[in-house]
Amino acid sequence: MPYRRRDESGSQHNFFALKTTSGLQSGLHTNQLATTVYNEFRARSDGRPLELILGIKPSGVSELLVTQLEETYFRRRHLKIIFYRRSKEEYESLSPIRFDSDEALKKKLNKLDKEYSRYKNSQNQDGVYMGQHEYGRLYRMLVVESFRDCERFGITAAARSQILAARVKSLAFTRWSVRNSRDPKAIEVLDVGISEADTAEISSTPASIKRFKHSRNHNMLQRDCVEGKTTIGSEEILDGDTIRDRLKEFTALSSSDPFPVLLLVHDEPKTLQVLGDFGVDTTGWVSGIKELFHPSRANPRPRIYVLDVKNIYEKLYQTPNGAESVKKIANTTGITMPCTPKEEWNAGNDAKYLIDIWSKMTKGLSIQEQFELEQQARSVASTSAPPPPNVPQGDDDEDDWDPNTIQATQHAPAFDIYDEAPSDDEE
């Protein structure tokens, strides 16, 4: 916002939650609150859409926030708006959320108000992976779109430089689907795939895609699955020791170029187990990328940050269905793949798809853009596929529709990226 100055005191790490109140005597009615906030922000931003801060807590509860300087501006304007002080440590993630009308903001505030009693005592940890999705959006904004308003989201200059220097890699594997009863501890990996992304566009680099087929195991038959053809990159048949050396080289942090690494995987626990079976030391690796954006130390050392695409997908779509394999997730999210009659296994292809999937997730269209796309999809669906006769239709309350509630259009379950409620720590 034009009125926001650089604050050397660190007050940009304090935030204020925008919340509705019961009754005009203690504050503004929701409609008045939304209109006042929307108009005041728009008046100071050259007519651009209203951008607030979405703070997601570990439980999945989220709030709409403003910075301390923005709160001071409202207070000095003597506007009857009640804010609640927060700190960035309370949230899993802080990311932009946009509204192009006071009506959209009103609906969002109404939803927060309605769900307060339902979620205020929640002990869920849904916000952890919801936050990872939001950090993916922020990563793209910083690296691809040259986003510079870092202080507003509590990102320091040191953290920003680490984010910009980070490399994005992916690691996939195929395990034999039949347990080896003679040697339960034996490595049952059929192949391993690795790839690295071009961070300028977050796209897989063909030359970096490599598939290592285990010389001892790769001819084993999979249950309900056939080996897929390598469509891009290279392929080698290697013994276990050589695969181990390749994996150690792939995951090693260079001493001459100590850049952080974002490692995309499908099912983090199983991936770490496979790496351990191959003798790869994962000590010091970090689950998720929150610490990359908000390091606990002033000068953090580069690390490997593991991003579990499977769990992010499950939180986005609010279902484990379709997350069983990389290829199923790729199909649901609309990634272009060869059409095959049977389920296929190929870790090299999966390594590429992991980058493609995360890239698509991070594109993170604005909330209003997502809302408009959903409205268009609903309109097309209602005109091209009318409901069959004698099927009762639900009585949806128009007031319950939220612009941040999105329905998947790739034959996927419905999901709400921002299914949140106010917190329970009002001051």
Q: Where are the domains of the chain?
A: 11-125, 158-362
The whole-number pLDDT of residue 289 equals 94
Q: Are 87 and 15 in contact (CB under 8 A)?
A: yes
Residue 21 burial (10 A CB sphere; 0-12, 13-18, 19+):
middle
Measured CA to CA, the distance from residue 286 to residue 301 in angstroms comes to: 12
Transcribe 7-24 into DSSP letters: -TTSGGGEEEEE---SST
Q: Are 67 and 427 in contact (CB under 8 A)?
A: no
The whole-number pLDDT of residue 33 equals 83
Measured CA to CA, the distance from residue 193 to residue 213 in angstroms comes to: 9
Between the alpha carbon of residue 196 and those of residues 205, 206, 317, the distances in Å are: 6, 9, 26
The whole-number pLDDT of residue 341 equals 61
Structure tokens at 311: 């769990």
Give the count of beta carbons closer than 10 Å to the beta carbon of residue 224: 7
Say how far residue 389 (Cα) sits from the centre of its chain: 40
Q: What angle do CA 406, 412, 416 make, to 5 degrees?
A: 25
The whole-number pLDDT of residue 4 equals 34
Which CATH number does 158-362 carry?
3.30.420.10
Q: Alpha helices of 144-213 — where are they, by DSSP H?
A: 157-165
Per-residue pLDDT in tens (0 to 9) along the chain, 427 residues? 333 333 333 444 689 988 765 444 344 677 888 888 888 888 777 778 888 999 888 887 888 999 988 888 888 876 677 788 998 888 999 999 888 888 988 888 887 776 665 656 666 777 888 889 899 999 999 999 888 888 889 899 989 999 999 999 999 999 886 655 555 555 589 999 999 999 988 998 899 999 999 998 878 877 778 888 998 899 999 999 999 999 999 999 876 667 899 999 999 999 999 999 999 999 989 999 999 999 987 666 779 999 999 998 888 777 777 788 999 999 888 888 877 767 789 999 999 999 999 998 888 654 334 444 545 654 676 666 555 545 444 444 444 434 344 343 343 333 333 333 334 444 4
SS3 211: strand
The whole-number pLDDT of residue 177 equals 66
